Amino acid sequence: MSGVRIVTDSACDLTSGEASDLGIEIVPLSIRFGSQEFTDREDLSVEEFYRRMAESSDLPATAAPSPGAFEEAFRRAAATGADAVVCITLSGGLSATIESAHNAARSLEGEIDVRVVDSRTLTAGQGTVVRQAALAAQDGASVDDVLVLVDDLVARTRVYAALDTLDNLKKGGRIGGAAHLVGSMLSIKPLINVTGGTVEEASKQRTRKKAFAWLRDQLYKEQGVTHLSVYDGEAPDVGEFLELIADRFPADQIHTGRIGAVIGAHGGPRVLGICYVVEGH
């Protein structure tokens, strides 16, 4: 079957069912706990990841897929008769994943038309871009039309998160512009902005409740929010946040899900994030 195929990586946090329904191939990153290494989603489930993180003295680390893993995915897409592949990756400001994808694409020049795009986002933000690209591809959009759609969505996607701890971000080296939050009093609940593809400080609040209120207020400031997602890293109070925004965003209008191992390794336990697309640019 001809057309465009969408490939992404496991930081997108799409479920296997969503990916299967939309014909999306997901290339997994690797997760390490000390000397043990696991392939995300294949031999380490989300539930098992959070259990290990709670029990282990080692903070988890992540590693990008190899170029060979992307090459295999691109070849599988071509084998189904695809005219072109659009590969949408985790933000290049946070991971070397996009470099692996570029290397794989270069190795296939002249064989397969592969376009690699930096989502400049992660988790449900990345998942939203990937999902919409796949829907367009299913509707028969050309590779150039898919790229225009993706570029537009990337520019309008926003991601904010409330963290319970900065330990994972600090030790994982992804703390970026939020570095000066380290050393703040222990009661501080940091909020980060990952909209530009890197981690920046958005705010700091003294309690979890106030952190949730800040997320709500940020969301309510926006005009024309679409594709709202609320994802969490086994946060026991996610229901409280959903109730907090229910007056404007009823539960049936929100895509909810679990932050997987790739982002959970850096966001830490009980992270809660909002991802959405705004009108205009």
Q: What is the pLDDT of residues 6-65, one digit of tens each?
A: 999 999 999 999 999 999 999 999 999 999 999 999 999 999 999 999 998 888 999 999
* The predicted structure's pLDDT at residue 58: 83
In the prediction, which pLDDT does 182 show? 47
Q: Where would I find the beta strands (DSSP E) of the chain? A: 4-9, 24-27, 30-33, 36-39, 61-63, 84-89, 114-118, 157-162, 189-193, 200-205, 226-232, 255-258, 272-277
Residue 189 has pLDDT above 80, yes or no: yes
Tell how strand 4-9 and strand 24-27 pair up: parallel
Summarised one tens digit per residue, pLDDT across range 121-154 is: 999 999 999 999 999 999 999 999 999 999 999 9
Please check the confidence at residue 280 and state whether its pLDDT lies above 50: yes
Distance CA 29, CA 264 (A): 13
Q: Which of 279, 253, 275, 281 is nearest to 121 (CA)?
A: 275
Q: Considering only 41-50, 181-190, 193-202, 219-228, which range has the smallest mean pLDDT?
A: 181-190
Question: Which strands sit side by side in the sheet containing 36-39, from one edge to the other?
Answer: 36-39, 30-33, 61-63
3 in Cβ contact with 83 (< 8 Å): yes
User: How many CB atoms sit inside 10 A of residue 224's CB?
Assistant: 10
C-alpha dihedral sign at 255, 257, 261, 264: positive
- pLDDT at position 168 is 61
Q: Is the pLDDT of residue 219 over 80?
A: yes
Question: CA-to-CA distance for 215 and 24, rounded, in angstroms?
Answer: 31
Instruction: Indicate whether 173 pLDDT > 90.
Output: no
Across the chain, mean pLDDT equals 92
Decide if 66 contacts 39 (C-beta within 8 A).
Answer: no
Interacting residues of 246 by C-beta distance below 8 A, sequence separation 6+: none
Residues 46-55: pLDDT tens digits?
999 999 999 9
Residues 6+ apart with CB under 8 A from 57: none
Domains identified in the chain and CATH numbers: 4-155 (3.40.50.10170), 157-277 (3.30.1180.10)
